[in-house]
């Protein structure tokens, strides 16, 4: 054992440069793993805070045909439902200018951007949609080169319109372009109706006083029966 130990130390000393390099590589690897794990924890905490700040809905339903304000109000009286909120949405096409082909996008509107109950959209920069101005989803602005302050063309039922982009919005339910999502634009409820002919809600959000899967499922069943 003494001879073996002496040979090991002798080899390490003769190749001390390589030995130091190996030690440094191991140390750097351990540091990198620690950084990744620590960063992952920080990212998870940050995403959780953002998600909770958006007041996520316990019930999320697509409704067809879309429902009007009177029906929305009536759903607030459904047993087990604490409150409801809604969103208008449809598919449109967009492009930067006539030299480009049309691409698919989602157009979304809320009844009042200043008074959202569930799945709250957050203004990242610029202004909320107003009159004929649009906002673009955060992430889509960079992925599709649609910065705030530019204009795009949209096509709705073969009619072409120009839409100024005056804001950037974070959508907790949005499908990011990095995961295959299309561009997503936001407008007012009035402008949505002018463009599409639809003024009712196609997506319904609701909550229950105290969350449990049983309570949320029961409330959703009651809503669907309406």
pLDDT, tens digit, 9 for 90 and up, residues 71-130 = 999 999 898 899 999 999 999 999 999 999 999 999 999 999 999 999 999 999 999 999
Residue 160 confidence (pLDDT): 98
Question: What residue segments make up the domains of the chain, in order of their start?
Answer: 2-52, 59-207
Q: How confident is the model at residue 165 (pLDDT cuts 50, 70, 90)?
A: very high
Residues contacting residue 192 through CB under 8 Å, at least 6 positions apart: 88, 90, 107, 109, 198, 199
Residue 172 confidence (pLDDT): 92
Coil, strand or helix: which one is 110?
strand
Q: How confident is the model at residue 14 (pLDDT cuts 50, 70, 90)?
A: low
Q: Chain-wide mean pLDDT for the chain?
A: 84
Residue 97 DSSP class: S
Block residue for tokens 């839409």: 163
Q: Give pTM, 2 decimals.
A: 0.75
Q: Please give the residue that has the higher pLDDT: either 161 or 28.
A: 161
Instruction: Record the tokens describing residue 189, joined without a space.
Output: 């409820």
Number of neighbours of residue 30 by Cβ within 10 angstroms: 10
**107 beta partners:** 90, 185
Residue 33 confidence (pLDDT): 55
pLDDT at 30 over 80: no
Q: Please give the residue that has the higher pLDDT: either 180 or 10.
A: 180
Task: Give the whole-angstrom CA distance, residue 188 versus residue 112.
Answer: 8
pLDDT digits (tens, 9 = 90+) for 123-151: 999 999 999 999 999 999 999 999 999 99
Residues in the chain: 226
| Contact assessment for residue 135 and residue 126, using Cβ atoms and an 8 Å cutoff | yes
| Contact assessment for residue 156 and residue 196, using Cβ atoms and an 8 Å cutoff | yes
Instruction: Record the tokens describing residue 164, joined without a space.
Output: 């100024």
| Contact assessment for residue 204 and residue 67, using Cβ atoms and an 8 Å cutoff | yes
């Amino acid at each position: 054992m003494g001879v073996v130990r002496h040979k090991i130390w002798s080899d390490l000393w003769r190749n001390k440069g390589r030995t130091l390099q190996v030690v440094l590589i191991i140390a750097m690897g351990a540091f990198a793993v620690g950084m990744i794990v620590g960063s992952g924890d920080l990212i998870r905490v940050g995403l959780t805070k953002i998600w909770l700040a958006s007041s996520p809905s316990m019930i999320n339903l697509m409704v067809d045909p879309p429902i009007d304000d009177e029906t929305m109000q009536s759903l607030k009286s459904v047993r087990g439902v604490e409150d409801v909120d809604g969103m208008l949405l449809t598919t449109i096409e967009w492009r930067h200018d006539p030299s480009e082909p049309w691409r698919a996008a989602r157009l979304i509107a809320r009844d009042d951007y200043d008074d959202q109950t569930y799945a709250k959209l957050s203004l990242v920069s610029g202004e909320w949609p107003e009159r004929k101005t649009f906002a673009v989803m955060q992430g889509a602005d960079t992925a599709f080169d649609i910065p705030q302050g530019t204009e795009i063309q949209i096509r709705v039922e073969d009619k072409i319109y120009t839409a100024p982009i005056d804001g950037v919005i974070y959508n907790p339910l949005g499908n990011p372009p990095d995961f295959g999502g299309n561009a997503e634009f936001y407008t007012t409820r009035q402008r949505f109706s002018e463009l599409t002919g639809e003024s009712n809600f196609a997506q319904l959000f609701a909550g229950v006083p105290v969350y449990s899967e049983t309570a949320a499922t029961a409330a959703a069943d009651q809503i669907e029966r309406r």
